[in-house]
A and B are shown apart, each in its own frame.
Chain A
Amino acid sequence: MDFPLLIGIFPQVLLDGLILGFMYALIALGYTMVYGVLEFINFAHSEIFVVGAFVGVEILLTLQAAGLLEIFSPFLVLLVVLLLGMLASGLLAVTVERVAYRPLRGAPRLIPLISAIGVSFFLQDAVRLVESIWRNAFNLVYPTMDTLNIRYSFTETLDVSVKSLVVIVASLLMLWGLHALVNRTKIGKAIRAVAEDQATASLMGINVNRMISLTFLIGGAMGGAAGVLFGVQYSLINPYTGFIPGLKAFTAAVLGGIGNIPGAMLGGLVLGLLEAFAASYLSLLTGGAFGAEYKDIFAFSILILILIFRPKGLLGEVVRERA
């Protein structure tokens, strides 16, 4: 076994894992917030994430076509793209809730879940349809921005690109912002009250439906932000990109304790790191017999193990059994 190599790639793998982890954390927030309020897995959240990525790529490609991409500061452009992506995804999430979930509230539990799966499939092809008509292509590539691709080499095996730093800083800011919103504002208090007990919250004068919409808006916006950052980091997107990250992010939410916001952040980071290490080290440690392809299996095994041995997750409360 090549120990110097194993140790040498460690910092790079750590960095990759962190970036992946922040991505999962941002997506996981959408699952966990909705679950906290409605006890329902918003299966379509992975498509909300993809729509954010597509809004981002459309804006960037339009700017590029108009020759404006080089004129403005890339950070300013990125900020605008991020905000618009968040807005689009947030509004889409609210619409989906209004159209496909609200009519089913109070129905047996599997009914809204099946509807959510339907929405997910519908949105995948809807994105493809729109892009096929609009661009005659649905595998899109984020335009490169030179400033973002500058790399700083720290050691022989670790170099950090500006965009990685941007992704990390943006994720941290958003996670902090959400934490503050939920814990320090009146709106956050109302959302927590609805999650705790809808009937009582409504007796206290909280508009439950509005708070549920708001939850979808915030969760969707976080997903949209993750979509834009995903595009910036990994460049290649298509309408079906969201499925696997969505599943992983759900795993992260369960890992951290579903319904628990800090839990989703922690779960995302843990899963991202585990996955990055599995992807890099599995093949080195098994002499190439099991390669990086098995990282997905790794994540699902974690999901199954967590659900069996600690269903409440790392930070979670006890999951209530409801027939």
Chain B
Amino acid sequence: MITSLLSRPVPATILVIALLGITAYAVSHFPRSIVAFMLFQASILLLYFASMPAWLKGLLTAGALGVLMPVVGSINGYYLEIAIQVGIFVALALGLNIVVGLAGLLDLGYVAFFAVGAYTWAIFGSPQANQIFGGSAFPVPPAWFFVFLLLGVGVAASAGILLGLPVLRLHGDYLAIVTLGFGEVIRVLANNLDKPINFTNGPKGITPISRPPIFFDPALRALGIDPNPNVVYPLYLYFLVLLIVGVTILVNRRVEDSHVGRAWEAIREDQTAAQAMGVPLVRMKLMAFACGASFAGAVGVLFSAKQVFINPESFTFMESIGVLAMVILGGMGSIPGAILGATVVTVLNLQVLKGLSLWLNELRNAGVTIFGWSLANLPTQLEPAKYERMVFGLILVLMMIFRPQGILPAQRRHRELRDAAARPEN
């Protein structure tokens, strides 16, 4: 019934607007209700599927993300925090989608580029750089954040090229292992480069990292709004994330059907054939690496500014696999897929697993008995919030076995996998 409703423009529009309104209302009135927030996200997903004129769809999306979400978030900051995290992972997933989904290069150390971006701003946007250069010239003024946003792109892209140059001659699974090794190397370096010269402050991490300046402060005052940083910053960061996600989506879409994007897909399908058709393999692969890395770099800069504190713990192999799971879940090479995958996985980790943990704790404290067995005896080490790996693992295995093209498959990818399945075993 819902599908038939969604396929007709007028009822679809009414349905979607109604759902957005109801769920947004529910979210703002039930603080910390996981279900309400997920329903709100689901109605945005419905908006994607509903058939209506493109301009209307764009308007509604902009309304939901640009107006409803901030309003809900300013009533309940917890949701805004989650929305920011979702945004960060959406941008990361879209970046990895270029490398894995379009070019077919399995990068298991993607988080390294994220780390490079994060440390770029962390070192210069905090007094940390004084340890390297001496004096007390640092941190640089907060306004430099925007310069570093671009710088982060450049540094991460260079790291991508530096890694890519030697290893891109390797194929498939070897490349995967080498990128994994690279990810670990970056983490080990971040952990240990506190001596002989203190670059990263080792496992203790770097703090305090400057946040971007509120340059619109006078405008807020002129409008009679109190620019209380505690209220303004989350919203400000949210819009920055939204901006980065927007740019990422735009670049992804433009690149996908450009000659570069087609070259990537040709390489993914059949490297030898692509080369025979005149696709410069190494250059194209390097571009994919650099392109994917640059998004991670920009997001990294934003991440370190948002967190104010970073240490190597945020850049483990598990994060790389988490982002990979997002791309796989949504569908390799599919932009809406990457967005959906990132949202689902992040919400699962931040809300559902944490919610389960809280619930188990309550059961423990309440000491309810089931068939004479007291729930107070539940092992204290049993904390669903700690089982992210199991979630990632299940996603990867189940998707590969049952739906390798992902939930929202890219059209071309879909065809390829179907044909591969039809091909006799070699």
Contacts and interface: CB of A to CB of B under 8 A. Distances in A.
B189 A297 contact: yes
A39 B104 CA distance: 18
B337 to A, nearest CB: 15
A289 B271 CA distance: 44
- Name, among A104, A110, A118, A136, the residue most crowded by chain B CB atoms within 10 Å (CB to CB): A118
Contacts of B178: 303-304, 307
A280 interface: no
Nearest to B167: A304
A267 interface: no
Contacts of A118: 325, 392-398, 400
A216 B39 CA distance: 45
B376 to A, nearest CB: 13
B188 A136 contact: no
Contact of B389 (A105, A106, A122, A250): A122
Contacts of A40: 173
Contact of B188 (A126, A297, A321): A297
A243 B183 CA distance: 13
Contact of B167 (A131, A138, A307): A307
Nearest to B390: A125
B404 interface: yes
A187 to B, nearest CB: 24
B382 A113 contact: no
A271 B189 CA distance: 21
Contacts of A115: 396-397, 400-401
B397 A41 contact: no
Given A118-B392, A121-B321, A113 B181 contact: no
Interface in B319-335: 321, 324-325, 328
Contact of B400 (A111, A123, A132): A111
B420 to A, nearest CB: 6
Nearest to B202: A293
Interface size class of A (residues with CB under 8 A): 35 or more
A247 interface: yes
A40 B386 CA distance: 30
Contacts of A106: 420, 423, 425-426
B167 A289 contact: no
A289 B401 contact: no
Interface in B188-234: 188-189, 191-192, 195-196
Interface in A93-138: 100, 103-115, 117-126, 128-129, 131-133, 136-138
B169 A308 contact: yes
B174 A307 contact: yes
Nearest to B394: A122
Contacts, number: 149
Given A41-B177, A300-B185, A114 B324 contact: yes
A181 B413 CA distance: 44
A296 interface: yes
A303 B177 contact: yes
Contacts of B167: 304, 307-308
A134 B390 CA distance: 18
Contact of A114 (B171, B185, B400): B400
Contacts of A30: none
B192 A293 contact: yes
Nearest to A137: B381
B172 interface: yes
A120 B171 CA distance: 22
A7 interface: no
B133 to A, nearest CB: 19
Contacts of A125: 387-390, 393
Contact of B270 (A119, A254, A323): A323
A104 B401 contact: yes
B317 interface: yes
A303 B176 CA distance: 12
Nearest to B192: A293
B301 interface: no
A124 B166 CA distance: 32
A296 to B, nearest CB: 5
A126 B393 CA distance: 10
A91 B46 CA distance: 45
B196 A300 contact: no
Contact of A122 (B108, B397, B423): B397
Given A132-B381, A308-B169, A121 B393 contact: yes
A56 interface: no
Interface in B139-192: 166-167, 169-174, 176-178, 180-182, 184-185, 188-189, 191-192
A120 B393 contact: yes
Nearest to B174: A307
A119 to B, nearest CB: 6
A107 B270 CA distance: 14
A119 B166 CA distance: 29
B272 interface: yes
A75 interface: no
The 9 residue pairs across chains A and B that have the minimum distance between CB atoms:
A118-B396, A122-B393, A121-B393, A125-B390, A300-B181, A118-B397, A132-B381, A115-B400, A136-B379
20 contacts: A41-B176, A41-B177, A103-B401, A108-B420, A109-B173, A110-B104, A110-B173, A113-B172, A113-B176, A121-B321, A121-B392, A254-B174, A289-B196, A291-B192, A296-B188, A297-B189, A300-B181, A301-B185, A304-B178, A307-B174
Interface of A: 40-41, 100, 103-115, 117-126, 128-129, 131-133, 136-138, 243, 247, 250, 254, 289, 291, 293-294, 296-297, 300-301, 303-304, 307-308, 311, 321, 323
Given A108-B417, A112-B400, A297-B189, 15 more contacts: A106-B426, A110-B176, A113-B176, A114-B324, A114-B328, A117-B393, A118-B398, A121-B392, A122-B394, A129-B382, A132-B381, A136-B380, A294-B192, A303-B178, A304-B178
Interface of B: 104, 106, 108, 166-167, 169-174, 176-178, 180-182, 184-185, 188-189, 191-192, 195-196, 270-272, 317-318, 321, 324-325, 328, 379-382, 386-390, 392-398, 400-401, 404, 416-417, 420-421, 423, 425-426
